[in-house]
Structure 1
Amino acid sequence: MTDNRSRARKVTRKAAPPSAETAASAASTPAFNDGGVADAAQSGQASAPATESGESTDSRKNESGNEGRNSQGGNRNRSRRSRGNRSERNDNSRNDNKGGNRNRGGQNRNDNGGGNRGGGDRRRNAVQTMQGADLTQRLPKPPKAPKDGLRLVALGGISEIGRNMTVFEYHDRLLIIDCGVLFPSSGEPGVDLILPDFSYLDDKWDRVDTHGHEDHIGAIPWLLKQRSDIPIIASRFTCALIAAKCQEHRQRPKLIQVDDTSHEKRGPFDIRFFNVGHSIPECLGIALKTPAGLLIHTGDVKMDQTPADGRPTDLPALSRFGDEGVDLMLCDSTNATTPGVSPSEAGIAPTLERLISNAKQRVLVASFASNVSRVQMAVDAAVKAGRKVAFNGRSMIRNMEIAERLGLLTAPRGTIVSMDEASRLAPHKVVLITTGTQGEPMAALSRMARREHRQITIRPGDLIILSSSLVPGNEEAVFGVINMLSQIGATVITGKDAMVHTSGHGYSGELLFLYNAARPKNAMPVHGEWRHLRANRELAISTGVNPDNTVLAQNGVVVDLVNGHAKVVGQIPVGNLYVDGVTMGDVGAEEIEDRTQMSEGGLISVTVVIDNRSGRPLEDPQVVAKGFSEGSKEMMKQVAEVVDNAMLDLSGQGENDPYRMAQTLRRKVAKFVKDKWKREPMIIPTIVPMTSEVVEELDPEDHAPSL
């Protein structure tokens, strides 16, 4: 029998309609606030949250009653020759459950009225720890949404870079701004994407309006798997990207195309738009009005006065909203810690032209696949240098086809060629534009650096231009790719070496312009880590926003806008929703921990066959090690001796419960290996109960045939 670990399990989510039940008590899910909102949180709230029922339990107690607890195993005879014929297995004595069953989501939680939906609450990784030195007040589960107030809940994008998703609720109607993904770090092996936690929407699927905003759209196909008829409002280019992304999942989303002159009415939500500058075409900020007040959401924004697409951030429109009275402003925080004003995109084109025209061999430009203006600059520079252009990387090819179809990317006929044709051209006649700026292992640039690309081989003297920023958390992967390229002999140019990149997020000086134009009564920094959020809060205060009206909150914190004042009222538990291959939610924190443990400490598998009545071993334990050196054979002999002694001790005590035996083996083997070799491998004990029958040995004469 294969047994698993005994520690408390966290719930998981399948790729089916989720439930609204929470995964942890409010006592273990703190909320965070700052700037006076602590007083608001204390008002009308209990000092300690109530304990919720329905703790996760293992189903390991369901052992078969036919095993029996025979204590006759007190005879510690280590000889196995008298243990009889083991060729038959008594299936009735086998424990079908044995505690090795991983019961995922068998809870019946009733704390917030969500339907069970046949699988219990299956969400992973609820927030369990405090973050921020002075954000130490625990808040209970939020009260019912205010009757005439607007409720905000960020399911992602606050206290992190990426995975942006914010839910707005008014009179039981919801509107979502952004639905993005986060790419995994090296500490999350095997994970492809990290999605926002959709569990807050579980009992609200019948009343959702969704706004897919800007480039924060990666999780939309997974959201549509929960409910496929959610309307998605976005600009022309964003709609095209969403349609292409959903087509890969065989989905046909309901798309509503808008621009800066559009005016949408979705239930109680009155939505207007204004142009914002960013690193992809046709970005829009949002003015969201409800009876609770007017809210501005900037999205990703910068104040480039000479943008490549000729569409700067519309400060006059933002000022007009300020004249109406902005009750709450959600502002991009990504570069709030950087002083001054970000460089303009206009300075990049001359640099690319100079680098490409002076290059003697192949040129490779790595950029974000959505940065159409940057790709256009590289194409223009290639044309001036008399080179052909080839796109590499699935997302790059797809996005540039969309941009060309919409008229956002132009090139003389014959300039753009396929990768197959580019591989046959002389190196000094081609420019490759590829993905992989963040060191993604399977991206084209990484495969070229490892010399695993099917068509292109990087050679000494090639020029690699990384026209992108370094996303926090990807430093190790990006520097690894740069080092491999340098080892080959290629010349690598980054934004630190030449003007080949500028950020799509405004610096602190630009954010001051936004605050002064909108003049909000309340401010809530979004889209950033804690240091960015705090810096953005100080910027808002410096422009005249009352410190008590600035809200610092992380994912899951619930903010209510009531009577023109924004305050934190509690927190819901939210976590990470992992995409592993084609599945969503099957992998959670425990599986990630297992993978990490195996990668760091290796694995030891122990198999013991026992008598199902006495619990005595019927043969020598089998010990198999993975991730250990060739000299581990002697080590495993010592482990086998530890296992044998432990099993005989247990049988001598009358123990024959496979589950408890497996747990004891795990503890003893883990302690032995750690004490002796300072290793912490994953231990997998397997106990196999079998029937033991003593067969009388007859003399050969007794079998002699009769004459």
Structure 2
Amino acid sequence: MIKLDSPSIKIVILGGLGEFGCNMMAIESGEDIVVIDAGLGFPPENTSGVEIIVPNISYLKENQKRLRAILITHGHEDHIGALPYLFSQVQVPIYAPPFAYHLIKQKIKGKYEKWLNKIIIGDYYQLGDIKVEFFPVNHSTPDSTGIILYTKAGILLHTGDFKRGKPLIGTNSINWKMLYERLPSRVRVLCSDSTYSIVSGNSEPDQIVEPHLADIVKKTRTKIFLSTFSSSIGRIKQALKVAKDHGRQASILGDSMSKKINIARKLGYLPGFENTVISVDKLKSLPSHKFMLIVTGSQGEKNSALMRLTRGKFKGIEISSGDCLVLSSSIVPGNELKVAEMIQKLSVKGVKVIDQTKAKIHVRGHALKDDLKELIKIFQPEYFIPIHGQYEHLLEHLLIAKEAGISRKNICILERGNVLQISSKGSELMSPVPSGLVFLKGTARHIIDSSVIDDINDVGGNGVLTISLLINLSNENRELKCFVDQVEFTASQDVLKNIKDYTQETLETAVADGIKLDRLDSLMIQRVDQYLTMKNILRPMIRINIINPNKTK
């Protein structure tokens, strides 16, 4: 039992750090636990039989009596996609902003709906001894929020996924300085989005996209196809407005997008387009210059509307020579090859493909380096935890925090399974909780035994293996750590652990032997090559990323 005169916060990482997707963390304060987000991830393309990946929730099952709520920041799948699996194991109240609430309601309809609560952004919720506040942020889906936890041990602020500027839909985003000024005390722990920590500059406003879309539509006299993420309701609203302004009518093709647009309409987020959006049957009878089709499939997904159109006629619609395809989205890491192949096939057909490299028809949905630094400077938290990203992104965010004035010893790089306790005595890593990933398949989401995954993955494959080396040789905070990331390199967890152990040993030996840092790249690649050859695993592309917190930029 934690003594009342020495309160502490425990941060339990269940997913989303050291990886993209599977975002889930738990916060313990006294006898109360709240969970922030419950997301899924997707396996590499060539992982046979696996459809989705979710975090291991053994810790939640073991502590169900202490669970007070699951708090949802927004409605992207990497933040809500694990809820059906979680609810098959653990039932606990869910608190979600309006758009995410309706998405979740579709996922857990039936006996679990009673656990679902729609929050009012800006309101407070008392969950045991933890008081919770949801505040609005700008992101690429409506009603995105950050979360503040007021605990006896201090304030924890979780940014959620965010960028600067005003959202295209819904509540205005928070003014960080005004939020800082109204908080009753200094932020004890700041957990901040690291997705684009490796990209310099400031994020661009979403509003700049519309005139570029309008210019494309104005100059095009053939059919226009536009593909974006199905949850990007703001971008869809921009496309519909441009279509309406230029005398085109539009249809939606793709079940996931249609469902989300129906929710947005229900919430009043798409007013004024009643005469613009028509059925596909009506649209296909229109002349080409009156035609816009908004479709799923910007990531080259096999059964998406756009991929079916790429293969031939779909729903009576055909994408033909001279038509225009606007890809208004970024490419999710791991999908580059699929998207490139799709563009190639369409280009061979004579389709004009416009993506973000050719026109400003997409902007990033996450904060960039300068945004992140500004946020840290405003709050000057006692402790800083980079979240939401692979190790490369977390380690870069570490450097940003250091430049913003946070002491290195108060910046915590965590990974799945870590438990960090923060108290008046400082921060301390506690015994880890069960972690790892759960592999699911089929509509019933059956669990695939991990040994099967190992059999599938042990043969290895091509892809990218990134080894990040954190090297801090200062006397005060000496650190030598290795982190391993994979993209499309489908080695088993055991193989990755062995690579991590092997590179850690190599790093420590190299530093002890006085090997210069500029020689570490080739040494690490050589040693990893030796290990892969010994295990008969096909060699991926190997990237070495050296992070030196003491190096002046």
Name the CA distance, whole Å, in 2 between partners of 1:333 and 1:543. Answer: 15
The verdict on how the C-alpha distance between 1:310 and 1:572 changes in structure 2, with shifts beyond 3 A counting, is: closer
1:414 deviates by 2.1
SS at match of 1:174: strand
| Match among 70, 73, 76 for residue 210 of structure 1 | 70
Q: Which residue of 2 aligns with 1:478?
A: 339
1:502 paired with 2:367, answer no
Name the structure with the higher strand share: 2
Counterparts of 1:415-454 in structure 2 under 5 Å? 415-451=276-312, 453-454=314-315
SS at match of 1:175: strand
Name the CA distance, whole Å, in 2 between partners of 1:321 and 1:473. Answer: 42
The verdict on how the C-alpha distance between 1:321 and 1:585 changes in structure 2, with shifts beyond 3 A counting, is: farther
Comparing 300-309 with 275-284, greater Cα deviation is found at 300-309
TM-score w.r.t. the length of structure 1 is 0.61
Name the CA distance, whole Å, in 1 between partners of 2:344 and 2:236. Answer: 24
Counterparts of 1:148-159 in structure 2 under 5 Å? 148-159=7-18
| Match among 148, 162, 172 for residue 287 of structure 1 | 148
1:189 deviates by 2.4
| Match among 42, 52, 70 for residue 183 of structure 1 | 42
The verdict on how the C-alpha distance between 1:236 and 1:193 changes in structure 2, with shifts beyond 3 A counting, is: same
Name the CA distance, whole Å, in 2 between partners of 1:333 and 1:528. Answer: 6
1:420 deviates by 2.8
| Cα pair 1:292 1:564 within 8 Å, conserved | no
1:466 paired with 2:327, answer yes
Q: Which residue of 1 aligns with 2:542?
A: none
| Match among 83, 99, 104 for residue 220 of structure 1 | 83
| Match among 171, 177, 183 for residue 30 of structure 2 | 171
Q: Which residue of 2 aligns with 1:568?
A: 429
SS at match of 1:540: helix
The verdict on how the C-alpha distance between 1:313 and 1:307 changes in structure 2, with shifts beyond 3 A counting, is: farther
Counterparts of 1:362-401 in structure 2 under 5 Å? 362-401=223-262
| Cα pair 1:243 1:253 within 8 Å, conserved | no
Q: Deviations over 1:143-175 (max 9, x none)?
A: x98973211111111111121111112233211
Counterparts of 1:83-102 in structure 2 under 5 Å? none
The verdict on how the C-alpha distance between 1:160 and 1:172 changes in structure 2, with shifts beyond 3 A counting, is: same
| Match among 105, 110, 121 for residue 243 of structure 1 | 105
The residue type paired with residue 397 of structure 2 is N
The verdict on how the C-alpha distance between 1:320 and 1:541 changes in structure 2, with shifts beyond 3 A counting, is: same
The verdict on how the C-alpha distance between 1:589 and 1:438 changes in structure 2, with shifts beyond 3 A counting, is: farther
Q: Which residue of 1 aligns with 2:541?
A: none
Name the CA distance, whole Å, in 2 between partners of 1:328 and 1:468. Answer: 33
1:561 deviates by 1.4
Q: Deviations over 1:180-221 (max 9, x none)?
A: 111222132232211111122121223322112212211112
Q: Which residue of 1 aligns with 2:447?
A: 586
Name the CA distance, whole Å, in 2 between partners of 1:151 and 1:218. Answer: 24
Q: Which residue of 2 aligns with 1:626?
A: none
Name the CA distance, whole Å, in 2 between partners of 1:218 and 1:440. Answer: 17
| Cα pair 1:269 1:289 within 8 Å, conserved | yes
SS at match of 2:332: coil
SS at match of 2:448: coil
Q: Which residue of 1 aligns with 2:502?
A: none
Indicate the structure whose relative CO is greater, using CA pairs within 8 Å and at least 6 residues apart. 1
SS at match of 2:46: coil
SS at match of 2:263: helix
Name the CA distance, whole Å, in 2 between partners of 1:557 and 1:145. Answer: 20
1:193 paired with 2:55, answer no
| Cα pair 1:235 1:283 within 8 Å, conserved | yes
1:428 deviates by 2.6
SS at match of 1:481: helix
Give the 4+ runs in structure 1 shifted more than 6 A. Answer: 144-147, 596-600
SS at match of 1:324: coil
SS at match of 2:203: coil
Name the CA distance, whole Å, in 2 between partners of 1:186 and 1:148. Answer: 46
The verdict on how the C-alpha distance between 1:429 and 1:590 changes in structure 2, with shifts beyond 3 A counting, is: farther
1:439 deviates by 1.8
Counterparts of 1:279-358 in structure 2 under 5 Å? 279-304=140-165, 307=168, 309=170, 311-320=172-181, 324-358=185-219
1:486 deviates by 1.7
SS at match of 2:209: helix
Name the CA distance, whole Å, in 1 between partners of 2:425 and 2:446. Answer: 39
The residue type paired with residue 238 of structure 1 is A
Name the CA distance, whole Å, in 2 between partners of 1:201 and 1:286. Answer: 20
| Cα pair 1:357 1:381 within 8 Å, conserved | no
Q: Deviations over 1:511-557 (max 9, x none)?
A: 11211222201000000111110111111111211110000011111
The residue type paired with residue 472 of structure 1 is P
Q: Deviations over 1:201-250 (max 9, x none)?
A: 1212233221122122111122111234x211111222122112323x77
| Cα pair 1:335 1:532 within 8 Å, conserved | yes
1:424 deviates by 3.3
| Cα pair 1:271 1:288 within 8 Å, conserved | yes
| Cα pair 1:307 1:344 within 8 Å, conserved | no
Name the CA distance, whole Å, in 2 between partners of 1:412 and 1:503. Answer: 26
Q: Which residue of 1 aligns with 2:396?
A: 535
1:452 deviates by 6.4
| Match among 234, 254, 260 for residue 121 of structure 2 | 260
The residue type paired with residue 151 of structure 1 is K
SS at match of 1:586: strand
Q: Which residue of 2 aligns with 1:25?
A: none
| Cα pair 1:331 1:525 within 8 Å, conserved | yes
1:581 deviates by 0.8
The verdict on how the C-alpha distance between 1:434 and 1:331 changes in structure 2, with shifts beyond 3 A counting, is: same
The verdict on how the C-alpha distance between 1:253 and 1:197 changes in structure 2, with shifts beyond 3 A counting, is: farther
Name the CA distance, whole Å, in 2 between partners of 1:564 and 1:496. Answer: 51
Counterparts of 1:43-192 in structure 2 under 5 Å? 148-192=7-51
Q: Deviations over 1:657-706 (max 9, x none)?
A: xxxxxxxxxxxxxxxxxxxxx999xxxxxxxxxxxxxxxxxxxxxxxxxx
Identity %: 30
Q: Which residue of 1 aligns with 2:519?
A: none
| Match among 222, 242, 251 for residue 361 of structure 1 | 222
| Cα pair 2:32 2:128 within 8 Å, conserved | yes
Name the CA distance, whole Å, in 1 between partners of 2:367 and 2:124. Answer: 26
Counterparts of 1:404-423 in structure 2 under 5 Å? 404-423=265-284
Name the CA distance, whole Å, in 1 between partners of 2:376 and 2:347. Answer: 44
Name the CA distance, whole Å, in 2 between partners of 1:308 and 1:552. Answer: 34
Q: Deviations over 1:555-585 (max 9, x none)?
A: 1111111127333224234122122012435
TM-score w.r.t. the length of structure 2 is 0.78
| C-alpha RMSD over aligned residues | 2.5
Structure 1 residue ranges without an equivalent (≥5): 1-143, 601-677, 681-707
| Match among 219, 234, 243 for residue 96 of structure 2 | 234
Which structure has the greater CA radius of gyration? Answer: 1
SS at match of 1:304: coil
Structure 2 residue ranges without an equivalent (≥5): 462-535, 539-553
